[in-house]
């Protein structure tokens, strides 16, 4: 069904991967950033993220592989790391709800194994050899590396079967569901807290881990992928408005304002 035969696979690189060579990735530690500013802990120290950056030769191949992988259709409930979709669109789906559940998946990339990647590729129609080569080129130490360009796309593909199962469950319960990378959002116009154990059970049964510290059930308003939902509108966080002079922040604020205009227009038409 899919082919990677047009990729210029370097045999020497594959041999190094087969030998589990540790010189093909660089461990990097960098400050976590949000709204263009470094994130800090309550005690004032900075938050850091550890990544595994592939060497340029490998990153080049991963980018080519990613172009192939990104063409594979995903469930419409998925919004993260997908061309033409973003966090604003993800949040907009939930604007008319009044009950919200947010769940964060723990160590999302590092908990996805090379076996899961390989089996997913086979299920998508890749040949055994193609699935083996792609898995070798995109996993490290048996996991998805944090810094590889293919990791978000492969994580989406592996997690898509779980998304379908969650979507089916939520549809039966009258719950709206979306997924943005490792963030899961559920909402409805009525209380559904009694269904939370069922939702978590589906996630765990499929081999994923829930960050228990980041499970939140709220009424009337909620934060969804960096935006607050309240009264049918998207609201920016105070921290973002404090960094309004940043060019990227300005453009983002403008996009949110445009989305709110659309929402108000639709609301007026419905009256």
CA gap 23, 17 in Å, rounded: 10
Between helix 151-173 and helix 114-123 the angle, nearest 10°, is 70
Q: What is the pLDDT along the chain (271 residues), one digit of tens a residue?
A: 455 545 555 666 666 666 655 678 888 887 676 656 667 777 777 677 788 899 888 898 899 899 999 999 999 999 999 999 999 999 999 999 999 999 999 999 999 999 999 999 999 999 998 899 899 899 999 999 999 999 999 999 999 999 999 999 999 999 999 999 999 999 999 999 999 999 999 999 999 999 999 999 999 889 999 999 998 999 998 877 777 777 888 899 999 999 999 999 988 887 6
Cβ-in-10-Å burial (0-12, 13-18, 19+) of 183 comes to buried
Question: Tell me, what DSSP letter sits at residue 45?
Answer: P
Is pTM beyond 0.95? Reply is no
């Amino acid at each position: 069904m899919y082919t990677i035969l047009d990729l210029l696979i370097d045999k020497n690189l594959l041999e190094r991967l087969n030998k589990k060579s540790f010189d093909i990735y660089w461990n990097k530690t960098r400050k976590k950033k949000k709204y263009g500013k470094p994130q800090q802990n309550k005690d004032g120290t900075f938050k850091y993220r550890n990544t595994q950056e592939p060497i340029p030769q490998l990153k080049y191949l991963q980018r080519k592989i990613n172009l192939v992988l990104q063409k594979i259709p995903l469930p419409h409930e998925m919004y993260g790391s997908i061309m033409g979709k973003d966090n604003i669109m993800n949040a907009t789906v939930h604007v008319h709800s009044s009950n919200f559940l947010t769940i964060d998946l723990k160590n999302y990339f590092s908990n996805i194994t090379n076996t899961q990647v390989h089996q997913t590729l086979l299920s998508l129609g890749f040949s055994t050899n193609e699935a083996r080569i792609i898995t070798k080129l995109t996993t490290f130490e048996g996991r998805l590396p944090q810094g590889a360009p293919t990791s978000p796309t492969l994580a989406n593909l592996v997690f898509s079967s779980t998304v379908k199962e969650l979507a089916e469950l939520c549809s039966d319960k009258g719950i709206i569901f979306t997924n943005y990378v490792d963030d899961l959002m559920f909402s409805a116009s009525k209380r559904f807290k009694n269904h939370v154990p069922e939702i978590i059970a589906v996630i765990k049964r499929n081999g994923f881990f829930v960050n228990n510290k980041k499970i939140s059930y709220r009424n009337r308003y909620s934060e969804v992928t960096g935006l607050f939902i309240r009264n049918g509108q998207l609201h920016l966080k105070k921290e973002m408005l404090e960094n309004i002079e940043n060019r990227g922040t300005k453009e983002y604020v403008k996009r949110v304002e445009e989305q709110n205009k659309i929402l108000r227009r639709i609301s007026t038409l419905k009256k």
